[in-house]
Structure 1
Amino acid sequence: MSVEKINTLVVGAGQAGIAMSEHLAAMGVSHLVLERNRIAERWRSERWDSLVANGPAWHDRFPALKFEGISPEAFPPKERMAQYFEDYAAMLKAPVRTGVEVQRVERHVGRPGFRVSTSQGVIEAMNVVAATGPFQIPAYPAIVPADAPVAQLHSSAYKNPGQLADGAVLVVGAGASGSQIAEELRQAGRKVYLSVGEHYRPPRSYRGRDYCWWLGALGLWDEVRIKPKKHVAFAVSGYEGGRTVDFRRLAHAGIELVGLTESYEGGVMRFAEGLARNVAEGDQAYFDVLREADAYIEQNGLPFPPEPEAWELLPDPACLTEPTLSLNLREAGITTVLWATGFKFDYSWLQVNAFHENGEPYHKRGISAESGIYFLGLPNLVNRASSFIYGVWHDAKYIADHILLQQGYMSYEKS
């Protein structure tokens, strides 16, 4: 039986895999993209119904294709995002095969490259790019036992309020996902508790420009002067046309804020102290952006209209000044705990020496410790931009350059 051979195999046909294909094709590198489901499947079926992109349409895209039929300032819904990547792949004539699962990758012995076992046979590749992204296995702390008298749901399985049993909901995690889901549940008439830990809370927009624009203008995408805290929730969202995530506003709308979820025993959930401090640190990050933006506008003489109301904070709600440190879930009427606590990696299929002891990829800018293995689409792969659509496109270009460079070494023959 013949074995298919290719220079570079890209695993995953989401935004990272499609970007990788574009750059490899432009450099004349033969490649194949394998996707176990459909193109951009996570946008289609692994998110809630009302999800929209975190950046506006003018920004959250690849350079060669604009969104049609949608305002540049709008935040495209998830179905439109999936269609965008499908259209992009068609425009590129990208060599994507869907419905093919990569089961195992292992290095050849005694010769270059890798043996890739898939659900449709074996492929041999000189390089493998893991473009499966960060959203692989839902992650949440083992705080509440599985047999506790409350339903537990990860945000990746949440679709809409009607999916949940009647009763109040405790949403754990106050990044973009948690804050948006909490607000949606409250608007649907639910009693909602929102567990807030450390977070980074920028303005959605300021003085007529979206935060994505300010990140670029102020050099914050590149993080030259700052090093953000690791594992801190990024509280910015395009929900309802794009509004700044404001925890005081959410509290005044009826959402009860609680601190970091700490433990559970006998039906009682306990929360850490420090809610007010976490909210204050988020406020500080928010005001830092406003100050830098004002200085930039003045320095460059830009005619952006003042926005004094952006500097105003709502009064502290009672749940912030007198925080709840414990909740009896039954007495509070809580029937669902919704964990908006992110994901962890699953590279069990990648049987190579490219990982730290804790299982995280060992790489620099996506170039792994195992020659010929690359990672793409991970948060902070290079900088803050790596988590955004435009950023992954540029990360892919760097990796494609490296693949071409290494190909030159392998083909060199001394005269």
Structure 2
Amino acid sequence: MTVSKQIPVIIVGGGQAGLSVSYYLKQRGIEHLVFERRTKMHSWASQRWDSFTLVTPNWQCELPGHPYDGDDPFGFMRREEILDYLQRFADKVQAPIREGVAVEQVSIDDDGGYTVQTSEGNYRCQQVVVASGGYHSPIIPRMAEKLPAQTFQMHSAQYKNPQQLPEGPVLVVGSGQSGAQIAEDLHLAGRQVYLATGNAPRVARQYRGKDVVEWLHEMGYYDISVEDHPLREGVRDNTNHYVTGRDGGREIDLRRFALEGMELFGALEDFEDGELLFRDNLTSNLDQADDTYRNINARIDDYIAKAGIDAPPAEPYTPVWAPQQERTRLKLAEAGIASIIWCIGFKPDFGWLDAPVFNGMGQPKHRRGVSPQPGLYFIGLPWLHTWGSGRFSGVARDAEYLGQKIAEYESAEVADAVSA
């Protein structure tokens, strides 16, 4: 294989994580290149719906050298505002990025370095940072193949607005952050929505005078590392709580949607003989989500009491609706469902990375982004180190740490070369 150029460090991915690492490498004077197969921040521009907002307050946006710089720190940036914020960050970093260049394979050389095969040629480097995130391949179940050809189907990553869809009722599958918010978007647009729920938890937006995120920040939750979390690495498998920043921020209560005409079901299991088949677990899904909601509020209550904080009194949550009888079968044609939106997540795809660092689920093994393979790092993954690792609030801390590790590795390589 012909190698066109030698670069000390190559970063794969030009989103906020990759550019954050570039920021710290530039500070240290470490030569590097960033490869982005599409354009900077591509997923933010292409995989978010029109009414998308952050679900965490703007003050939590702390990219390297680029904290939130708007006039609404306790608000929630809309999609276009997020893109503007990210563009200003990219303009500050001025990363050495090659947009439109796909990394096709990364392999380990005999001397411990790496060969990086790209769509524009081959490179060799001593260190590689994988900043492509963990959400690569949209999950659509095989049962989708059995649905009638005229049923319009899309993944949440493709959804933009209700006008994309054919007229008629819509089935949304999944009630995590994307599913709950897309169901709300369609509901507010006047569409008849059927929602197949999952085991996603929920959280209050405001509680006892503050946004719940602000309380949890004060309580130190966002500084807890994976190693210190009670679930350890298992926390990486948790589904995000559903809540929204829409219209200034509010909680999402699926029970209220049901009162307003949205029809809720348990988890979707199959499609047979023209019927959608659901699990008999709607009640438990709603109850478990509410239990998480109450537990978080109770932890805030304990914190307020122990710290002696003067806060408004608690307002206990009372369910506004409960299913009287769960439907587990729904005839697709009779319901008139014309569209299905799959909101059941993504799976990782690191097939281009030839390195012995993956577990049986295809997830990379690492400790705070440092893999067991020398010179190979990961960033931008959920709970890489803390809750904020995959978000604007914690990626800077992770990037700075990796910048230090990359510098240490480079210094050790130079020292070995000199001693040899």
* TM bracket (short chain): over 0.9
Matched, 1:404 2:407: yes
Matched, 1:129 2:133: no
Cα gap change, 1:211 to 1:123, in 2 (>3 Å): farther
Distance 1:21 1:60 in 2: 18
Query: What corresponds to 2:216 in structure 1?
Result: 215
In the TM superposition, residue 398 of structure 1 has moved relative to its aligned partner by: 2.1
Query: What corresponds to 2:89 in structure 1?
Result: 88
- TM-score under structure 2 length normalisation: 0.91
Moved more, 289-298 or 65-74: 65-74
Query: What corresponds to 1:351 in structure 2?
Result: 354
Any idea what the Cα deviations from partners look like across 1:61-108, whole Å, max 9, x if unmatched?
Answer: 325223344411121122222222221122123222222221221122
Counterpart among 292, 302, 326 of residue 295 in structure 1: 302
Counterpart among 234, 248, 264 of residue 241 in structure 2: 234
Moved more, 130-139 or 352-361: 352-361
Query: What corresponds to 1:7 in structure 2?
Result: 8
Q: Provide the secondary structure at the position in 2 that maps to 1:324.
A: coil
Q: Provide the secondary structure at the position in 2 that maps to 1:283.
A: helix
The 8 Å contact of residues 153 and 342 in structure 2, kept in 1 or not, is answered as yes
Distance 1:100 1:194 in 2: 39
Query: What corresponds to 1:313 in structure 2?
Result: 318
In the TM superposition, residue 285 of structure 1 has moved relative to its aligned partner by: 1.1
Moved more, 131-140 or 404-413: 404-413
Aligned amino acid, residue 230 of structure 2: I
Aligned amino acid, residue 339 of structure 1: W
Aligned amino acid, residue 54 of structure 1: V
Q: Provide the secondary structure at the position in 1 that maps to 2:255.
A: helix
Distance 1:339 1:174 in 2: 10
Aligned amino acid, residue 11 of structure 2: V
Distance 2:211 2:108 in 1: 46
Cα gap change, 1:340 to 1:70, in 2 (>3 Å): farther
Aligned residue runs from structure 1 range 12-411, under 5 A: 12-62=13-63, 64-109=65-110, 111-145=111-145, 148-149=148-149, 150-221=151-222, 222=224, 224=228, 226-227=230-231, 228=235, 230-308=237-315, 311-317=316-322, 320-411=323-414
The 8 Å contact of residues 76 and 249 in structure 2, kept in 1 or not, is answered as yes
Distance 1:398 1:67 in 2: 21
Cα gap change, 1:392 to 1:45, in 2 (>3 Å): same
The 8 Å contact of residues 3 and 121 in structure 2, kept in 1 or not, is answered as no
Cα gap change, 1:381 to 1:2, in 2 (>3 Å): closer
Q: Provide the secondary structure at the position in 2 that maps to 1:9.
A: strand
The 8 Å contact of residues 174 and 340 in structure 1, kept in 2 or not, is answered as yes
Aligned amino acid, residue 392 of structure 2: I
Distance 2:287 2:169 in 1: 27
The 8 Å contact of residues 198 and 233 in structure 1, kept in 2 or not, is answered as no
Cα gap change, 1:162 to 1:216, in 2 (>3 Å): same
In the TM superposition, residue 313 of structure 1 has moved relative to its aligned partner by: 2.0
The 8 Å contact of residues 209 and 311 in structure 2, kept in 1 or not, is answered as yes
Identity %: 36
- Structure 1 spans left out of the alignment, 5+ residues: none
Distance 1:334 1:129 in 2: 45
Q: Provide the secondary structure at the position in 1 that maps to 2:362.
A: coil
Aligned amino acid, residue 87 of structure 1: R
Cα gap change, 1:173 to 1:233, in 2 (>3 Å): farther
Cα gap change, 1:70 to 1:97, in 2 (>3 Å): farther
Q: Tell me which stretches of 4 or more aligned residues in structure 1 moved more than 6 Å.
A: none
The 8 Å contact of residues 101 and 119 in structure 1, kept in 2 or not, is answered as yes
Distance 1:100 1:54 in 2: 32
The 8 Å contact of residues 43 and 79 in structure 1, kept in 2 or not, is answered as no
In the TM superposition, residue 179 of structure 1 has moved relative to its aligned partner by: 0.6
Distance 1:13 1:260 in 2: 36
Cα gap change, 1:382 to 1:274, in 2 (>3 Å): same
In the TM superposition, residue 17 of structure 1 has moved relative to its aligned partner by: 0.7
In the TM superposition, residue 112 of structure 1 has moved relative to its aligned partner by: 3.4
Aligned amino acid, residue 398 of structure 2: D
Moved more, 256-265 or 94-103: 94-103
Distance 1:166 1:95 in 2: 46
Aligned residues: 410
Q: Provide the secondary structure at the position in 2 that maps to 1:103.
A: strand
Distance 1:139 1:161 in 2: 21
Distance 2:361 2:353 in 1: 15
The 8 Å contact of residues 39 and 82 in structure 1, kept in 2 or not, is answered as no
Q: Provide the secondary structure at the position in 2 that maps to 1:44.
A: helix
Any idea what the Cα deviations from partners look like across 1:183-202, whole Å, max 9, x if unmatched?
Answer: 11111111101111112212
In the TM superposition, residue 239 of structure 1 has moved relative to its aligned partner by: 2.4
Distance 1:331 1:299 in 2: 56
Any idea what the Cα deviations from partners look like across 1:295-354, whole Å, max 9, x if unmatched?
Answer: 21222232333342xx2324224xx23121111111111111110111111222212222
